[in-house]
Amino acid sequence: MKTLKHKLIFFVVGARPNFIKAAPILRQLGSSNEFRYKLIHTGQHYDQLMFNVFFNDLQINAPDYNLNIHGGSQNTQIAKIMLAFEEKCIQDNPDYIFVFGDVNSTLAASITAKKMNIPLIHYEAGLRSFDRKMPEEINRLMCDSVSDYFFCTEDSAIENLLSEGKKRDKIFLVGNLMIDSLFHLIRKDNSSYQDYEYAVLTMHRPSNVNDELKLNILINIFNEVAKKIKIIFPVHPRTKKLIDTKKLNENIVVIDPMGYNDFSRLWTKSKFVITDSGGLQEETTALKIPCLTIRDNTERPITVSQGSSTIVGSDKKNILLNVDKILDGKYKNSKTPKYWDGKSANRILSNLKTFK
């Protein structure tokens, strides 16, 4: 029978947020003899600035395996990842598979794990937008339907899992690994974290950038906001080709994608953030920086009910009203959710030690 220190965990990452979430656990395991682990990168994100630089920024080793699967339709990508990942599972026979979030790589690894009867651990389990038009929502539902252990970032996730029939003793509130990485950066960074007179914009979701009418509406709104404050816009590769033909206010500064450290320094010094990113909703909440979320819903409701995020969709009046509140110092008060304290990796490892 294998002891704890001989058990092998496969950590599967595929997209930018996965790297950020995995890093705090891997740094802890690097100085521990309690588990063996391997990091598997599926290749889902393959842009240089969204992959290689992250491993340097986050102070973790390069992946043990890179499956190099990218491009194609979602179903093609998932199928190719499953086939390549299965080979690594047959080769190494892991005792656990640990997946993060809700991307295609997460779903592919989850299905493979259960088809091979390997216990599956899902971090960010139970998050729900209740919008099945979102590909990520389908991934979340399917992954949680076959997971054995559930690590949650907020209480709403626990409630969702219980309502779906999951056993309470398999569900663990551990906090937020994104915040572990953020606090790790702040502790080792000598830069001053004061407010500057600019906003940061990120936008990448298909619901915002693939719909020509919706994109035009949002560009018009951003141009209006830019009359009040400079906007710095690191453009996601998917978005860049779609906005090249759009007329932007000269006060909107479009820049290339940034590595984790540089981007964190950018938004942490900003006056506020406009985004459709789930991760940024969480990170801004941790530092109480106003966040206007250009979506109609969120799978992270605690960032709205307790945190610094406001769901504004593409409502021009609502967005401009909240921008004015921020600039006038009248935006809502917020607080940091329970366990978003930079110690989530410790809680996860403590729970892993109890698994049979």
Nearest CA to 268 among 328, 198, 319? 198
Q: Where are the domains of the chain?
A: 4-175+340-352, 188-327
CATH 3.10.20.30 correct for 188-327: no
**Do the domains spanning 4-175+340-352 and 188-327 agree at the CATH topology level?**
yes
- Helix extents (H) in 271-343: 278-287, 302-305, 316-327
* 204 part of the active site: yes
Whole-prediction pTM: 0.92
Residue-level pLDDT, tens digit, the chain, 356 residues: 565 567 999 999 998 889 999 999 999 998 777 789 999 999 887 655 555 566 778 888 889 999 999 888 999 999 999 999 999 999 999 999 999 999 999 999 999 999 999 999 999 999 999 999 999 999 999 999 999 999 999 999 999 999 999 999 999 999 999 999 999 998 877 555 455 799 999 998 889 988 889 999 999 999 999 999 999 999 977 788 788 878 999 999 999 988 889 999 999 999 999 999 999 999 999 999 999 999 999 999 999 999 999 999 999 999 999 999 999 999 999 999 999 999 999 999 999 999 97
CATH 3.40.50.2000 correct for 4-175+340-352: yes
The burial of 169, by beta-carbon neighbours within 10 Å (0-12 exposed, 13-18 middle, 19 or more buried), is given as exposed
Of 6, 70, 184, 204, the active-site residue reads 204
CA distances from 265 to 38, 49, 180, 193, 262 (A): 30, 16, 15, 8, 5
Measured at the CA of 258, the angle between CA 230 and CA 335, to 5 degrees, comes to: 65
Bridge partners of 223, per DSSP, are none
